[in-house]
Amino acid sequence: MSEITTQRAELAKLDYNAQALDTTVADVLTKLYSVWEEVSAADQDAIQARRRGLAAALTGEGISGEETERLLVEFLRVLEAIDSVVRLAYTELKRGKQTQTFRSGSGKGASAAVLDALSAAPPTGGDPLLDAGEAVPYHTKVDFPTTISSRDESIHPLILQLVIKKPDASRADEIVPLPFVDENRPELVEVHLTAPAFAETTGVTHRTLVVWKGDDSEPAIFLLKLTDKSSGDKELRLDFYHLGYPVGTATFKTEISLFNTGGATGPRIQPGGRPIVRTAGRPGIGNRPGLLSAQPEAPPLENQGSAALTEGIDGIQFVSPGTAVPDVILRVVRDTDDKTLHFKLLSPQSKIGYRERSMGSVALQRLKDPTQLLADSFADLDQMARNAGLGLGETEALDYMDTTIGLGVNLYEQIFPKELKNEYWRLQELREAGTIRTLLILSDEPWIPWEMIYPFDDEHGADDFLAGAWRLTRWQAGRGLNPTLNIRTVQMITPSLDLEFVKEESDYFAQLPGTPLPIAVAQPITTRGDFLSQIKVGGVQLLHFATHGNFNAKNADRSPILLEGGESIAPIDLNSFRTQGIRKERPIVFLNACHGGKLEFTLTGTGGWAAQMVNQVAATAFVGAYWEINDRLASLFSRTFYDALRADAPLAEAFHQARMAVRADSPANPTWLAYTLYGDPNARIRWAEAEQNDQ
């Protein structure tokens, strides 16, 4: 018999002391919160659902002392059935019990102490991303040859630095915002390199920069040798991570020339040369106890000053114990010529077993024309979403579900490389064990609907769509994630069109000012002019669109969202001048219109609503749909999503609850799969009393 079974049997012999119920509940929750990381993800969800339910019940009108007692006992007995609770809080549970039952007879309701305990969510553990002050913007300073001869066998140092002032010259000048938890201690920034045309001669494709507030970091270097001798531009990407979060990406190209026999136009090391290996940071930092282990020095590179290759760091954690970071990050990088996707799995969590691992590549030629392939699939999904709302027979409904699964299996077979397929099933085991559950896809490509990928093979069988199996979000490499948002004002964009269930969404927001979490709800916007005026001024933190949309395959930046009077707005309207006000708010943008989530390449990168909302509007989160969505289900999805956020669910968990609600309502309708979410999976949305303004 296991220890938990024995302990549970001992608890069953005793009854709860009615006079100590308040103290018992508070003690048990306090104990659990102190070891919250040891509670499985599934058990955390169960505990929090029960806690919120009990808190709501105890604050209801007219609840008697006897009913209060019954609810508290029922809550504790539910906790007894959870293995994690018994294992971690057995002492607190048993302390609240006795061998004989006595009624309290007080007739009193719940005490202030127990209500305080029930209203408290698990602590963040001093989450540095939430507790730190305003982030300091750093520039990337990158030195690497602009041109390399295909005959060049030299080792070329890629030298990078984070600097306060805009550099006079840099291969890639991007902004990396960095919050500082303690001004007297440095922050560590991990830099991961993806350069398919080169080999990193040390075998390590990540470095660590030590950054003190207000100071330039010392340089770090990668040592690269050309392996792809074909001519043309070769792209290199540097992804920056702070405390497990992506905070920026610097991208640049180097030309490989068949005719440049003079070698590289930039720094290089002749074969056999030795790079400097030195601890990055302020002079003398290697002697600071618990910070860094000093590294041996080698002769410096010729003309390279203090370039540093950081190899060892002791005593500083890359992730704070209380920081809720994504469990797994799937980094997807596309080649310059768009013919290949390269995959990496990263995790700041030690429970995964590695920090970074290559997961192979896939040639896009296998997909023929990806845009056309997906256009055909989306047309099928459009039709199913339209027809499934008309009432299907059982046979037809099963056929719809099988068809959707078939599309997902095809994507899995064509897009996941062999290495990623093999590793996926290990990640599935960890997820099923409750060890991990959040997946962030950080991608350069604009068109893959990751949510509907359906892993399946003969050896392992089937999992589920990625959107069903994981608390899944995605993000575009470049701008950093935002882990929290305080919503004070909501703005709806709801033109009077022919969408019957838009009224349900309008009514939902109309009642919010009278709820326990009051916010201001601005007068709905129906015209193009009012919308453009609003985003220029700002002042709102949640933009909710409920209207029609379409995707322009020839020019994604001109994909329209319809407004009244035949007017429309398109991604191209969201330039930096027009979005100067809303950009400061870091809003949530929910585009509850079909085709809002699709992207396509433009002349300067990716276009479409998702790219513009992430890059120009600086959204904390963006929600869009890849294909046509059912009107009634769209309303159900958004209302469930907002309800979950208001109940303190993290962003990805709230979104997952909305998916499952729509899926349970209409499993044959692919509307539940149509939605895509850009944002931090663990982002916390706070709801505050609206500020008074004159608008």
Pick 313 or 481 by higher pLDDT. Answer: 481
Question: Does the pLDDT at position 430 exceed 70?
Answer: yes
Q: Are residues 95 and 48 in the same domain?
A: yes
- Mean pLDDT for all residues in the chain: 78
Question: Does the pLDDT at position 340 exceed 90?
Answer: no
Q: Which of 308-322, 550-564, 642-656 shows the highest mean pLDDT? A: 642-656
Token pair in block for residue 265:
């136009």
**pLDDT 10s digits, 137-157:** 999 999 999 999 999 999 999
For the segment 98-117, the average pLDDT, to the nearest whole number, is 54
Q: Which of 323, 355, 380 is the last residue of a domain?
A: 323
pLDDT band (50, 70, 90) for residue 285: very low
Residue 475 lies in a domain: no
Q: Which of 193-197, 238-242, 479-483, 643-647 has the lowest mean pLDDT?
A: 479-483
**Tally of CA atoms within 13 A in the half-sphere of 47 that contains its CB:** 28
Q: Are residues 508 and 650 in the same domain?
A: yes
Q: What local confidence, expressed as pLDDT, does residue 128 receive?
A: 53
Q: Are residues 88 and 166 in the same domain?
A: no
pTM above 0.95, yes or no: no
| Residue 603, domain extent | 484-687
Instruction: Output the domain CATH number for residue 301.
Output: 2.60.40.10
Token pair in block for residue 592:
């509850």
Q: Are residues 265 and 319 in the same domain?
A: yes
Q: What local confidence, expressed as pLDDT, does residue 370 receive?
A: 53
Q: Are residues 301 and 162 in the same domain?
A: yes
For the segment 399-418, the average pLDDT, to the nearest whole number, is 90
- The total domain count for the chain is 3
Q: What local confidence, expressed as pLDDT, does residue 132 receive?
A: 58
Q: Are residues 167 and 314 in the same domain?
A: yes
Q: Are residues 93 and 149 in the same domain?
A: no
Residue 436 lies in a domain: no
Q: Are residues 103 and 247 in the same domain?
A: no
Contact 457, 470 (CB under 8 A): no
Residue 476 lies in a domain: no
Burial class (CB in 10 A: 0-12, 13-18, 19+), 455: buried
Report d(CA 246, CA 356) in Å as an integer: 13
Residue 352 lies in a domain: no
Residue 468 lies in a domain: no
Pick 620 or 121 by higher pLDDT. Answer: 620
Q: Are residues 606 and 502 in the same domain?
A: yes
Residue 335 lies in a domain: no
**What is the amino acid identity at position 573?**
D
Q: Are residues 91 and 160 in the same domain?
A: no
Q: Are residues 53 and 150 in the same domain?
A: no
Q: Which of 269, 295, 323 is the last residue of a domain?
A: 323
pLDDT band (50, 70, 90) for residue 270: low
Burial 506-519 (b: 16+ CB within 10 A, else e): bebbeebeeeeeeb
Contact 462, 455 (CB under 8 A): yes
Q: Of the candidates 165, 11, 182, 171, which has an alpha carbon nearest to the alpha carbon of residue 80? A: 11
Q: Of the candidates 573, 578, 592, 619, which has an alpha carbon nearest to the alpha carbon of residue 509? A: 592
Q: What local confidence, expressed as pLDDT, does residue 262 receive?
A: 53
**pLDDT 10s digits, 40-85:** 877 887 887 788 777 767 766 667 778 888 888 888 888 988 988 9
Q: What local confidence, expressed as pLDDT, does residue 328 receive?
A: 93
Angle between helices 21-34 and 65-80 (to 10 degrees): 40
Instruction: Output the domain CATH number for residue 676.
Output: 3.40.50.1460
Report d(CA 379, CA 45) in Å as an integer: 37
Instruction: Supply φ then ψ for residue 549, to 5 degrees.
Output: -145, 165
Q: Which of 323, 345, 362 is the last residue of a domain?
A: 323
Angle between helices 83-95 and 65-80 (to 10 degrees): 130
Q: Are residues 198 and 302 in the same domain?
A: yes
Residue 564 lies in a domain: yes
Residue 60 lies in a domain: yes
Q: How far is CA 617 from the centre of its chain?
A: 17
Q: What SS3 string covers 478-505? A: CCCCCCEEEECEEEEECCCCCCCCHHHH
